Structure 1
C-alpha cells in the first residue's frame, strides 16, 4: 500500500483568527498555531522566500485535520472562494454533525450562510452546503436513524 493516511487538508485564508473561531464553533480543536518561514519552506512549496502563519485544527475523533494558512509573504495571487460548486479544483470540506439545525444556528453568528437548502437524502442523511468565513464552501451531514 502506498498511502498510509491523509494527514490534513490545507486552506489559505485572510483572517486566521476568525477562521479558527468558526471551526472551533463547529467543534474542531486548535491543535497548534505558529509561523513557518525560510528558504527550506519555499523549497517545499516552490514559492521561494515565504512567511506563513499556520493553525492546525483537529476533529474531535483525532483522525482528520485542517491546516489553515495565512500568507504574509509572498502575497496571495488567486482567489477561489467564490467559485460555484461545479468549479474545478478545491470544492469543499464535508463534516458529519450530530444536529444540523443546531450547528447552523451556532455558525450563523460566525458568518455561515446556507448555499441552497437542507435536503433529506433518502432518510439516511440531512445534507447542506454553507459558505463559511471568507466564503469557504463547507458541507454538513447529519446521519439519520436509518443510516447503517
Structure 2
C-alpha cells in the first residue's frame, strides 16, 4: 500500500462577477468570511497559467473550520467562458453540497437573496431531505437535511 500524503481538501473555487452578493448568499447559509483581498503579480499568473492576472478573492469557511470556498472576481484577464447556468448533467464541476438543520427555513431565507430551486425539495429514504438551488449568478448548490433514524 502506498503512503498517502493527502492532508485535507483545502477549498473549492468559484469565479463570480459580484463578490458582495455572493458573500451575502454564503453568509446566509452559515459560512463566515475569513478574509478578502487582491491576488496579483507574476507568481499568481504562473500558478494559474493565465500570465498577468489580477483577481479579488474572498475566503468563506464553514462554522466547523474544516471546509472553505474561495470566491474569485477576475479583473484581468477577462473572463472567457460562463458555466454558471449549465444544467445539472453538464460535464465538469457541478455543485457544492451543504448539510443543514432546517432545509425549508434555509430555502426560504435563500430565496430572499434571489435564489431559486432547480427542482424541488425531496426526501431520500429515511436518510435526507435534499434539493438543488441556484443562488447569485446561477451558482448551483445542494442542501441536505439529515433525518433522524426512525
1:6-54 deviation per Cα after TM superposition (whole angstroms, max 9, x unaligned): 0000000001100000000110000000001111100000000000000
Q: After superposition, what is the alpha-carbon deviation per residue over 1:78-129, rounded to whole angstroms, capped at 9, x for unaligned?
A: 1001100010001000000000000011111111100011110002100000
Aligned CA-pair RMSD: 0.9
Q: 1:3 Cα deviation (Å)?
A: 1.1
Matched, 1:127 2:121: no
Does 1:17 find its partner at 2:56? no
Q: How many residues align?
A: 147
1:145 to 139, 144, 148: 148
Report the counterpart of residue 77 of structure 2 in structure 1. Answer: 74
What residue ranges of structure 1 are gaps of 5+ in the alignment? none
Instruction: Mark the runs of 5 or more structure 2 residues left unpaired by the alignment.
Output: none
1:72, distance to aligned residue in structure 2 (A): 0.3
Aligned match of 2:61 = 58
Note if 1:106 corresponds to 2:116.
Answer: no
> Equivalents in 2 of 1:109, 1:51: separation in Å?
32
Provide TM-score, normalisation by structure 1: 0.97
- Moved runs in structure 1, 4+ residues, more than 3 A? none
